[in-house]
Chains A and B, each alone.
Chain A
């Protein structure tokens, strides 16, 4: 196993599971660039390591720049006949290291069209440092730096990636593991940057019991809070159309981080989701 079972994450954390699904989908050997975050800290404690693949962790906001250097060195050495193996390059970062401090490096790496797969494990906050808000924290979400609930809506990472015209972008969750595997495979075979944004619900800071993890992921998809879709060479395709679109309140009520959310806030969130879902449906049918 490329990431072994000895990863010291919290009880009920899905980040290692998601990571294993994705990394095993690569047929070729993989080199990993890790951003500072929950997974990084839990898997690289000196003198051990949970990784059976080469891994580099340099800083928090530069995982995409680091992999750019790795990929460039590989290309240069390959030209000289020195790096003979075919390899895949994978970045694993959280939403902190992607949406916020890591956005610049990610944007640069995408614009330069390096061939790598960027996976964002999106748990909607800076969980490694105690659950502060990130720009991926949803509207009204309570975090340690937004105790009254976040006053603004989330950034749309997929749209940002799409604006860079990279060959493959996908949103996924463990609601559908086969879908995630398929997306990972596609990402690794993309001829350029590929980005997968994976929902990583955090029992501790979203405040739900670990045993509800499956239900939370299911609701994230059926409420269209976290639609499963992909954009392949600019063409959008929805991968999961819920038989019955659930009201977002069913998703929110399972999480303590939305405690005290008002009716008008729920409505605002519902409207946003509905509008975006309609827009997504329109684009994907075009």
Chain B
């Protein structure tokens, strides 16, 4: 079945099929649609879980932590300041190894206050121990919701599923929906052993840990995180059997035998691919690499994809003040040649095909500049 859905609606539809036992969120633009959609579904009796409209994002994630500790499937949705308000709990959710599913509608962080898209919110959380996946389209949001759920549960780590605020959350596109029964079979059940509700084997979660034990907790988290690359591949393979769609950690668009490759994430990938097509028609050998799985970062796959390029441009949709932009900083580990960092789209500023053409033009002219270039 095919529906006209925007990214928020795609998330809502996925959540309808997942039917988490607990969903708790605080409204924030541009993801309010998810909580509202779920409230409608619940009132129609089409979902069975508990919806908790709490008084802040800090409480929303706290609720998810309490619920997930009981072995319940839990989810939330937020952006920007909301994510920041949850910040102290990000490490707690990850440290307590709870597979919470969080939808992010990427939005710029204040100040000044801006409700439009950039990646400063989820990028600020890249070191929190959460898995992170970036979706280009509403279709990806829908499909990757189930993949994200299974990945989180296999790793016992929470996961952020990111989509561009407004550009994806509010744009209607055709989304292929999979049959309820197939999805049910794919996601299976989540029945962890020894949850908080087990009074026969009472568990203490959230210990006080001294220097002699803390390190090992973190080591275990890191191990689970890095192992999840293998898990991701396994899960997407399984998913492709019911959907026909493949969602590898990176998406290579005409990158083989490309002289120049642009690397980026999320919705800008659309016009980047259009630009690549236009240039390829003229015989110019360019390609585009989309990063889908950001945490854990798929270094091996990226190195492989970039190894024969003559030059690279990386487009980040956030700054890392006082340092190099985050995606660039990862890509730097994967390519020995010239890389030009770019930052674009802050606070939702549009980027045009002409500007993308310009990036490729500069690459072909070997026009590199030290430091980050801004596309404004």
In the complex, are there CB atoms of A and B closer than 8 Å?
yes
The residue on A at minimum CB distance from B196 is A54
Over the window 308-338 of chain B, the binary record of Cβ atoms lying under 8 Å from chain A Cβ atoms (1 yes, 0 no) is: 0000000000000000000000000000000
Report A91 CB to chain B, min CB distance, Å.
Answer: 10
Over the window 190-211 of chain B, the binary record of Cβ atoms lying under 8 Å from chain A Cβ atoms (1 yes, 0 no) is: 0000001111001111111110
A116 to B203, CA, bound (A): 19
Q: Which residues of A contact B52 (CB under 8 A)?
A: 68-69, 72, 112
Q: How large is the interface on B (under 10, 10 to 19, 20 to 34, 35 or more residues)?
A: 35 or more
B292 at the interface (CB under 8 A from A): no
Report A2 CB to chain B, min CB distance, Å.
Answer: 9
A47 to B210, CA, bound (A): 10
Report A21 CB to chain B, min CB distance, Å.
Answer: 19
Q: Which stretch of B56-64, B139-147, B237-245, B263-271 is in the interface?
A: B56-64
Over the window 69-81 of chain A, the binary record of Cβ atoms lying under 8 Å from chain B Cβ atoms (1 yes, 0 no) is: 1111111110110
Given A44-B208, A58-B62, A59-B62, also A70-B69 (CB < 8 A): yes
Q: Which residues of A contact B72 (CB under 8 A)?
A: 72-73, 76-77
B92 at the interface (CB under 8 A from A): yes
The residue on A at minimum CB distance from B209 is A46
Q: Which residues of A contact B161 (CB under 8 A)?
A: none
A73 to B206, CA, bound (A): 18
A106 to B120, CA, bound (A): 31
A179 to B235, CA, bound (A): 57
Q: Which residues of B contact A107 (CB under 8 A)?
A: 55
Q: Which residues of B contact A70 (CB under 8 A)?
A: 66-67, 69-70, 196
Identify which of B48, B197, B208 contacts A45 (C-beta below 8 A): B208
Please count the residue pairs between chain A and chain B whose beta carbons lie under 8 angstroms apart in the complex.
171
Report A19 CB to chain B, min CB distance, Å.
Answer: 14
Report A252 CB to chain B, min CB distance, Å.
Answer: 34
Identify which of A41, A56, A68, A77 contacts B63 (C-beta below 8 A): A68
User: Do the beta carbons of A56 and B196 come within 8 Å of each other?
Assistant: yes
Given A33-B66, A104-B55, also A46-B198 (CB < 8 A): no
A46 to B96, CA, bound (A): 13
User: Do the beta carbons of B71 and A51 come within 8 Å of each other?
Assistant: no
Which residues of B129-160 have CB atoms within 8 Å of chain A's CB atoms? none
User: Do the beta carbons of B62 and A66 come within 8 Å of each other?
Assistant: yes
Q: Which residues of B contact A108 (CB under 8 A)?
A: 54-56, 59
User: Do the beta carbons of A69 and B21 come within 8 Å of each other?
Assistant: no
User: Do the beta carbons of B207 and A44 come within 8 Å of each other?
Assistant: yes
Question: What are 18 pairs between A and B in contact, CB < 8 Å?
Answer: A33-B66, A45-B208, A46-B213, A51-B202, A56-B66, A57-B208, A58-B65, A58-B92, A65-B59, A71-B66, A73-B50, A73-B67, A73-B69, A75-B50, A76-B21, A77-B72, A104-B56, A112-B54
Which residues of A does B touch, CB under 8 Å? Answer: 29, 31, 33-34, 40-41, 44-47, 49, 51-59, 61-62, 65-77, 79-80, 83, 85, 87, 104-105, 107-108, 111-112
